[in-house]
Amino acid sequence: MTAAPPAAPNDTSQGAHPSRDTPTGPSRPRSGLRALAGHLRPQRVRMAAGVLLGLVGSVMGLAQPMVAKRVMDGMGRGDLAAGPVLALSLLVVAGGIIAGLGHYLLDRAAESVVCAARRRLTDRLLRLRVPVVERTEPGDLIARVTSDTALLRQSAPQAVSAGVTGTLITLATVVMMGLLDAVLLCVTLAVTAFVGVVVAVVAPRIGRATRHTQEAVGRMGAALERVLGAFRTVKASGAERSEADALHRAAEHARRAGVRAAAWDAVSATVSAVVVQICFLVVLGVGGARVTSGAIGVSTLVAFLLYLFALAPRIGQLVEGVGQLQIGAAAAARIREVEDLAVEDVRAGDTAPAAGPPVRDPRPAAVAFHEVRFAYSPGLPPVHHGVSFAVPGGGLTAFVGPSGAGKTTVFSLIERFYEPDAGRVLLDGEDVRLWPLDALRAAIGYVEQDSPVLAGTLRDNLTLGTADVTEEELREVLRLARLETVTDRLPHGLDTDVGHRGGRLSGGERQRVAIARALLRRPRLLLLDEATSQLDAANEAALRDTVTDAARRVTVLAVAHRLSTVTTADRIVVMEAGRVRAVGTHAELLRTDALYGELARTQLMNGRPDRRRGDAP
């Protein structure tokens, strides 16, 4: 059965924002603030409770002097009433506890904001499309998940709380000042309005500088990832100095941007402090004149000035809160860029039935390519120029051809890491775009060219993504992949840590681990990409038997590099420059295809791909 290609099921990013392929687009400050609000919204009840308790604590603090005054007045009269003393003690203890609880709730909200952002980001990262990840710097993505989310904690709920408390108390103070003298209030507002102008100018600059700092931190992460990912190569090439220089440059950029943010912060703090001082002087002058003219009494001026004293730190608090919000907004904007990246659709394409749990079909899968054209990205030359072949269920099919002919790309298209620009890739006669992605990948075991092994134990690596594995199955697969001797040798057997990228295993051992992992998935289609290239002759012969045996139960496609694999294959697909040039058995192709004849004599005899023929189309 074949189905019509679905209407563009490839871009499946959720939400109202268009998905992108790189996380580096510029963001406007307002969208950063909106994104920040989105992070805070789920915690609004806890934050409101924290702010409320903080306010209650402050009000109880304000009442303490009045109660203390009553206690002292009573003492003065020789009246040592226990009531006011008890009330004062209760006020002190309860005020402290309530304020502390408010603080705790805000900190809890902050931790929840950060945790939710990290969980959302990591979920998103693991669902990103392969081409998207290839275009990003892993170190930068790591910085966004760790460092940018930490900035949310630093700036968000406490800043909002300071802003809300500061605003409420400022408003209350302004009302009291207005009740005392409207003229002096107008003078105060006219002078302090300048602080508002300065904040409006400076705040976006703090946001921009923070963003630059975080970008530099991201670049540092990328540079570190580059060095640690090829640590031996860096050392063997004597490149420590030049790589350290690149890291220092990123650190210096981060420092400069951080200093710029600090400078803008200092400007706004200084300007607001100076403006408040000027305000005192102006109010004193205008107030003095009004006292002289008899418009207000001295006590009104004194009371007004006392309120002005109380207002000054609140203005500072508000200015600081705005700066902190800008820092949070800059971080939220960078996080948003990752959330906007295109993710894979785990469901099927438009016309397929609803995706349920993958049904385990025991039959070997049939694979076919129909006129597949594909380029890795629009600017790059095409890699496949109309690839067509059909492989029935079962048996071993070998792919041979010069380096760069497009053999690995065939496997990537079957796994739907990429989608063809034209033509169709069919599994069991169904376009792979119509398969639910989890069902498609559950049907396939893939041993990649460089047999990646992840940090963790050998057992973790073997059971990666395959939860329901019995010890018996594990032992059987260890035997088939010739790993028994390796596990016997390791100090903790299957539970031995294999190190970063399996660095404590040899290349051949890594290949066998990757083969065992693929077999454990009980696939219907096994893709082997130069899977035995690093094995010695004895292990290679044993693994060949395993593959031949597997080919009786599942369909095996293997990019082959040894004549021994090719001669045992049921069919061979010869690829050249992005096209299928010939299909047949070894004997047929030796007779009919000149390129195959040459490959058989050179590359396949050597057991290694001929990299001299790296003639990409």
Ligand X SMILES: Nc1ncnc2c1ncn2[C@@H]1O[C@H](COP(=O)(O)OP(=O)(O)OP(=O)(O)O)[C@@H](O)[C@H]1O
Site residues for ligand X per CB under 6 A: 134, 376, 380, 383, 401, 403-409, 449, 609, 616
Minimum CB distance to ligand X, residue 131 (Å): 7
Secondary structure class of 505 (helix, strand, coil): coil
Q: Which is nearer to ligand X, 134 or 484 (CB)?
A: 134
Minimum CB distance to ligand X, residue 230 (Å): 18
Q: Which is nearer to ligand X, 287 or 406 (CB)?
A: 406
Minimum CB distance to ligand X, residue 449 (Å): 6
Q: What is the CA radius of gyration of the chain?
A: 35
Q: Which is nearer to ligand X, 274 or 616 (CB)?
A: 616
For residues 141 and 289, give the distance between their C-alpha atoms in angstroms, rounded to a whole number. Answer: 62
Minimum CB distance to ligand X, residue 595 (Å): 13
Q: Which is nearer to ligand X, 330 or 410 (CB)?
A: 410
Within 13 A of 141's CA, how many CA atoms are on the CB side? 22
Minimum CB distance to ligand X, residue 578 (Å): 7
CB count in 10 Å sphere of residue 284: 15
What's CA 509's distance to the chain center, in Å?
31
Q: Which is nearer to ligand X, 211 or 384 (CB)?
A: 384
E-strand ranges in 136-228 read none
Q: Which is nearer to ligand X, 270 or 602 (CB)?
A: 602
Contacts 24+ apart (CB under 8 A), 589-593: none
CB count in 10 Å sphere of residue 270: 11
Q: Which is nearer to ligand X, 339 or 529 (CB)?
A: 529
For residues 591 and 375, give the distance between their C-alpha atoms in angstroms, rounded to a whole number. Answer: 33
Minimum CB distance to ligand X, residue 463 (Å): 28
Do 330 and 18 contact (CB within 8 A), yes or no? no
For residues 457 and 454, give the distance between their C-alpha atoms in angstroms, rounded to a whole number. Answer: 9
In 467-520, which ranges are continuous DSSP H helix? 471-480, 484-489, 507-520
In 230-239, which ranges are continuous DSSP H helix? 231-236
Cα–Cα distances in angstroms (integers) from residue 158 to residues 102, 154, 358, in the given order: 10, 8, 47
Q: Which helix (H) or strand (E) holds 337?
A: helix 298-339
Minimum CB distance to ligand X, residue 533 (Å): 10
Do 313 and 98 contact (CB within 8 A), yes or no? no
DSSP per-residue letters across 243-263: HHHHHHHHHHHHHHHHHHHHH
Q: Which is nearer to ligand X, 398 or 486 (CB)?
A: 398
Minimum CB distance to ligand X, residue 202 (Å): 44
Do 519 and 445 contact (CB within 8 A), yes or no? yes
Minimum CB distance to ligand X, residue 417 (Å): 9
Q: Which is nearer to ligand X, 107 or 225 (CB)?
A: 225
Minimum CB distance to ligand X, residue 564 (Å): 18
Q: Which is nearer to ligand X, 407 or 482 (CB)?
A: 407
Q: Which is nearer to ligand X, 160 or 400 (CB)?
A: 400
Q: Which is nearer to ligand X, 407 or 433 (CB)?
A: 407
Residues in the chain: 617
Of residues 330, 320, 117, 341, the one with CA closest to residue 212: 330
Secondary structure class of 413 (helix, strand, coil): helix
For residues 303 and 308, give the distance between their C-alpha atoms in angstroms, rounded to a whole number. Answer: 9
Q: Helix axis angle, 29-40 relative to 149-180, nearest 10°?
A: 100
Minimum CB distance to ligand X, residue 132 (Å): 12
DSSP per-residue letters across 2-14: --PPPS--S----
Minimum CB distance to ligand X, residue 391 (Å): 17
